[in-house]
Each structure stands twice: as C-alpha cells, then as structure tokens.
Chains A and B, each alone.
Chain A
Amino acid sequence: MEVGRLPISASQRSKLIAAGYTTLSSFSSLSPSHLARDLKISDNEAAEIMRVASHSHRLDGSAGGCGTVNGAQTAWDMLHEEEMFPRITTSCEDLDNILGGGINCKEVTEIGGVPGIGKTQLGIQLAINVQIPVDYGGLGGKAIYIDTEGSFMVERALQIAEACIEDMSECGGLLRKDSQACQLKMHPNNILENIFYFRVCSYTEQIALINYLDKFISEHKDVKIVIVDSVTFHFRQDFDDMALRTRLLSGMALKLMKLAKDFSLAVVLLNQVTTKYIDGSFQLTLALGDSWSHSCTNRVILYWNGNERYAYIDKSPSLRSASAPYSVTSKGIRNSASNCKRIKMM
C-alpha cells in the first residue's frame, strides 16, 4: 500500500517519502524508535504513524506485506480475505452444498461432462448469478463469457435471466425488503448487457484473447467471473507438435490462474470428455490430457446416473469428494425434481 494513501498529515507524509519510505511494507517491520530517528520526529509520533499504517493495512486487506517478503500474507489475513468474497451460487442447493457454498473466487474451477449434460447451461447460469446484487447475497459483478463452440443462445440466457429475477423478487417479497435500495430494479436486458461475450474461432484467437483479458479486466473492475465454453474445442485438432500444445495449454492455464488471483475473480473452464485406455478398458476422462489436469484448482465432473444428472467433485484442495444431483429446467439449473427443497437465495 502506498504511503500516499495513508490518513496522516502532509508534513508526516513528506518526511516519510523524503526518508525513502514509499510503501507500507518498507517501514512496517521497523520499531517506532527506529522510525522516529530516521524521520527526526518524536517516538510518540512515530508510534502513531505505525498504528495508523497497520490499521489501514488491515482494512485494506491487500497483500501489503509483513515486512519480510513483499507480497507475503499471513494465513489469518488470507482467511479474512476469503470470507470477504461470497461464493457464486449455482441456483441448485445440493450443488452449492458440495461446492462449499458455490463457485469460489480466486480459483480456477474446471467442469467437464458428456455432450448434453448441461455444461453450457451451468456456464450461462453462473454468468447470470454473478450479477445477483449484494443485498440478495450475491456479488453484484459482471461476467466474461468466452464462447469457443457457438453454443451460447441468447434466448436461453434471456429465459434464465428472467427466472433469476423472478426468484429474487419472490425472495425480496418474503423477506420484506422495503428499503429503496433493495428494490429490484433489474431487467433481463440489463443482465444481458453485463455479460461480456466473446466468440473465438481458433486456438490462436483464444490465446490472444486470454492474454488481452488482463487489460480488459483492469478497465472493467467489476468483472467477477470468466467462463470459457469450452476451453478444449480448438485444441483437439491435430497439432503436429504435441509439445507445442502442452506449452500453449500450460501458458494459458497460468495466465488464467494469475487473472483469478490478481483480480479476485472466479474462472470457470468447461471441458469435454474423451475416452482413455486404462487397465485394459476404455474409460471416460476429461479431455486435454494429464498435464492439463494440474491446471485447475477444482475439478467437477457432470455425469448421468440413470435419468438424473449428477455432479461429482473430482479434485479439490478444500472440498471433499461428493456428488449431488441437479436438473436443467426452463428456469436454468435447479435442484433435482426428486428433492423438493426451497432454493435458498441468501
């Protein structure tokens, strides 16, 4: 954090900068008497500056550093940070439960399944749910939707957006939110406007776009989710040099992880399935190979169990392996019909 943002007097600030202290981390590990000697001020004044600095640092919550390594954070700070960002709901309570509340920001989540299982539906639902206002328990953010296959249908997004607004109004009515600020002023067209939709037609376009996202998101800081549908389509063509493909994919994965961490947003990658020859038989596995499986924080597999759709947490550092049923309805992703539970919005 910059010294210029500290709420201290101008003379104190100029003394700090003149002595060479431009960031918080540069003097936060010093003792007050040391700082007093450097700035030629009294011990009390130095202690006051340090107190203000550490208070601002705590409020800011940024990786201001603990003086030891620039950019390091204590685990305690990280826990507080995690609690600051609510998770993005999937509109299906069971699915939210196994995800620990929903899709997490600052993480890359990969979701894969056979065609027709609902990957694009889930992608569109998340692009809409990220826009749920803070008053209703959401993030009030915008979404970036990168479509590589052409599966995004605007009438379906409109249908899901209308259902989401309906659910929110119902919830708002139940909780009797009478204050002006909480009154729902959202219109389905607003929801569509808040989805930044990109269509890419080749792997070079895909990589160029993901490289560009850094600049785009710094200009649109309210983007809170990036969805790539699907991340794998353009990479399944013949690459004469497979090593090139692996390099491109890992470069892309690193970029996406960095985006998630730097801008505190969620990255959701939709993947296809393919068959793999394991132990003498063919089994289903997510496409792009073994090295790609390290590129995501969490991995969710969607599959059919009889006539019901299920989601399974395949890999996660913080969630336990579990599966949950969900269904795709005209309103979007919802609880499976056999469990008639009320959708919780908060």
Chain B
Amino acid sequence: MTPENLLHRLPSTQKCTFGCPVLDRCLGGGIPCNSITELVAESGCGKTQLCLQLALSAQLPPSLGGLSASSLYIHTEFSFPSRRLHQLSHAFITSHPRIFNNDPCDRIFVHAVYSADQLFDIMPKIESFLENMNAQLPVKLIVIDSIAALFRSEFENTPIELKRRSSLFFKISGKLKSLAKRFGLAVVVTNQVVDLMGHSEGMNGLKVGNLGSLVSSGRRVCPALGLAWANCVNSRLFLSRNEEVVGEENGSVDVSACGGGDFLPRQTRRRLHVVFAPHLPDSSCEFVIRREGVFGVER
C-alpha cells in the first residue's frame, strides 16, 4: 500500500463542464470526477435537462472542459427523453462544429432500472462494461435519474425495512464511489424533494448544508431519502423555481397599487444553489432553460 502522490492531482480535480461558463463558474469548473454529485429539485425544475446536457458536454475534449468521454445514463422513472436529447444534440453540434464526427447521441448509453435491488445487482455488469470500453471515448460519466424513484415505493414503514433501505444506500453509494475512483468517473444522481410539514422541528427540518431552508414554488421542501442518503453523496446541489412578479425586484411595479396582483405578468425564476460541497463555498446562480439547453444568467 503506497500513498497517492497528491501533486499528480494538481492543479485541480478533473471536472466535467456544463457547457455554460456561468454555471461552471458557480461550481468551480463543473461536476467533479471521483465523486458523487446529487441534484435535488422538485419535478419540472430542470434536473433531467442538466443531466442530458452533461452527457453531451462530457464528450468535449478537456481543453474545452469536457472529459472526452461517453456517458452511461440510467433512468428509473418514465421513459428516456430521447426527443429532447436529439434537440439538444443538434444545438450542441451547431455550437461545436469541428468536434463531432458522429452523432453525439451514439455516445450516450441508456439503461432502465426499476428497483433499488436491481440497481445493486447490475453493478458488476456496469463494472465489466466500463472495463471493456473502447479506449477512444471511454465512459466517464454515470447519471442516475432519479435515485429517489428507486427507493420511494417499495420499502414498508417498518424498522427492518427501513434499516435494509439505508444499508442499500451505503452499499450502492460505496460501489459507485469505488467505480468512480477506479475509472475516474463523475457520478451524477438526481433526487426529489418532500414537503416540510408544519414547523421546522423534527428530522426533516434539520439543517443540512448552507441553506437554512430549501424553498421551491413558494413552499419549504427538503430532499427525499433522509439523512442516511445525505451522508452518501459528496456534493449536493439544489435547483429551485419560484414565481416572481415581473419588475418587482427593481421596484418598477407596485404590486399593491395594481389591485391585488392577480393580473400582473409573472415569470419563473430558477436558481441553482450549492447546499454542500467539499470544494465550494456557499454560492448560487440563476439559470434559464431554453431550446438549446440550460444556461446560467448573471444579473
């Protein structure tokens, strides 16, 4: 057993860009390799959009912030959004004309999984898939969208089942981390949210990370799967969406004067927050979802 030479890791851990400089800046370069990053959001906030975009930008060369790699996309609920992927990849090829010889969608391997036990059971298959990859564009990104769906319906609310559930968290996370270390993978996992009932006492109100409370669509939420799963991921990012009255922030509209605000034009503001990460300070950034993809905005 010899210690690793940390100088070989300099100047920084390898990261996979999002394809947008604003988002990359907020996250210190992108999604780091050798670790598990969790995207937490309620449905419709853009988790899947970000994951599809990552699967495409992972194919960029390292000089442009990518990993020169293929991706493995494991989806667990609904069918895979292939039409949206094709739409995004057209936009991608247009913005990077000289990079892609083939269709980038060919470099994204999709697999469906329906239960947590099944996910753990296919780990050896995933490992041999990674070992036998062709050297030109090896798989360096694994996306699991979403991990919450695997765990939320099949475990009964008894102590034995809950114990089995949390030990599965650690088993799956342990296996993913060891694959990440062995092959230098970036692993992205998406998670859902649950509402916070009543006041903020109790386990769900426990403050984990930088944000005192996670707010989305005007309600307080907290990530699903509880404290045990929070211990299994290295970084957690929270996507929120909130409706705001247009012009309210810069004072150009007086809400009360407009008769209650029902007829005011509203827009959806989306934000990406860093809840916890070993290499990032408490930061957040606004983003929009367009036809060409997800882009951060600086206001």
Q: Which residues of A contact B278 (CB under 8 A)?
A: 120-121, 151-153, 156
Number of interface residues, chain A, beta carbon within 8 A: 46
Residue of B nearest to A238 (CB): B167
A198–B3 CB distance below 8 A: yes
Set B12, B174, B236: member contacting A201, Cβ < 8 A: B174
Q: Is the CB of B171 within 8 A of A238?
A: yes
Contacting residues of chain B (197-243) with chain A, CB-CB under 8 angstroms: 202-203, 206-210, 212, 227-228, 230-231, 233-234, 236
Interface stretch of the complex, out of B63-71, B94-102, B176-184, B264-272: B176-184
| Alpha-carbon separation in the docked complex, A153 to B174 (Å) | 18
Distance in angstroms between the alpha carbons of A346 and B171 in the assembled complex: 45
- Please determine whether B177 and A201 come into contact, CB atoms closer than 8 angstroms: yes
Among residues of B, the one whose C-beta sits closest to the C-beta of A216 is B1
A114 in contact with B206 (CB, 8 Å): yes
Partner of A155, one of B13, B171, B178: B13
For B1, the chain A residues whose CB sits under 8 A away are: 198, 208-209, 212, 216
Given the complex of chains A and B, what is the CA–CA distance between A237 and B170 in angstroms? 5
In Å, the complex CA distance between A274 and B212 comes to 20
Q: Is the CB of A237 within 8 A of B174?
A: yes
Q: Does B275 contact A (CB under 8 A)?
A: yes
Q: Which chain B positions have C-beta within 8 A of A196?
A: 3
Q: How many whole Å from A13's CB to the nearest CB in chain B?
A: 41
> Which residues of chain B are within 8 angstroms of A197 by Cβ–Cβ distance?
3-4, 6
Contact between A115 and B178, CB atoms less than 8 A apart: no
A289 within 8 A of B: no
Contacts of A233 in B (CB 8 A): 170, 174, 231
The one of A116, A155, A202, A275 in contact with B174, judged by C-beta atoms closer than 8 angstroms, is A202
Q: Which of B22-57 contact A (CB under 8 A)?
A: 28, 32, 34-36
Q: A1 contacts the other chain (Cβ, under 8 Å)?
A: no
> Complex: how many Å from CA A199 to CA B13?
15
Q: Which of A195, A208, A272, A273 contacts B6 (CB 8 A)?
A: A195
CB–CB B171/A237 < 8 A: yes
Taking beta carbons and an 8 Å cutoff, which residues of A are in contact with B? 114-116, 120-121, 144, 149-158, 189, 192-193, 195-199, 201-202, 208-209, 212, 216, 233-234, 236-238, 272-275, 282, 284, 287, 304, 306-307, 330
The 10 sampled A-B contact pairs (Cβ below 8 Å) are A116-B209, A116-B236, A116-B276, A150-B181, A154-B12, A192-B7, A216-B1, A234-B170, A237-B170, A282-B203
